[in-house]
Structure 1
């Protein structure tokens, strides 16, 4: 079988890159590493990199989105999960999210993965993001 060697990027469709990019930068600490303001089809893309992440997160705004917010019950993305190194860092994230007025779930064990701790939140388009720590693998 041919080999896969990693994930290069994840692209999320958003309704407004001008609203979403500052949120990802301010709340999650991402930095803009590039942008394609509009190609011939009217698509706008912003390329972000998070501290410690080896992949690029691309936020894509299509000219016609229908104005609907994200719904994980439709085919496509269900959620995007980021790992954090320790439960203590997960607690620090709850402080940061609260400071930025972001609604999030309490720290809890992921029901399908004993020995983990997670919090869930949503970006400005309602895309569910999860912060995850495997307590057995804490650094």
Structure 2
């Protein structure tokens, strides 16, 4: 497996994974906008030259990194792809000055919550009606030790 920076020609496959993975997928225009603003915050995972996952992470105010999305194509889940993407993004955000990283996850998505907990993310608070369908999000945070 290889993790690399996103290239514009990767967009079609990223959109496929986005739609396979989320109830409320990001539209192409938003993904393109994020990439234009934060080109170094968009990474791809490949296996045998096939894109199997992606991650988007950006720096926010006050030394906070924010993972906006991480998704892995269903046939490649539970094979270390998501972990590799997260570890690479966490390292990149730390090098950019992050002292902590946050991510929001659907309250009903206990599989994702468990995944992030294994990476030492901790639940911080519930954000009511975070998603367009009214579901709450769990805000999870990882804090780098000094």
Q: Give the TM-score, by structure 2 length.
A: 0.28
Q: Which protein shows a greater Rg?
A: 1
More RCO (CA 8 Å, sep 6+): 1
Q: Give the TM-score, by structure 1 length.
A: 0.29
Q: Which has the higher helix share?
A: 2
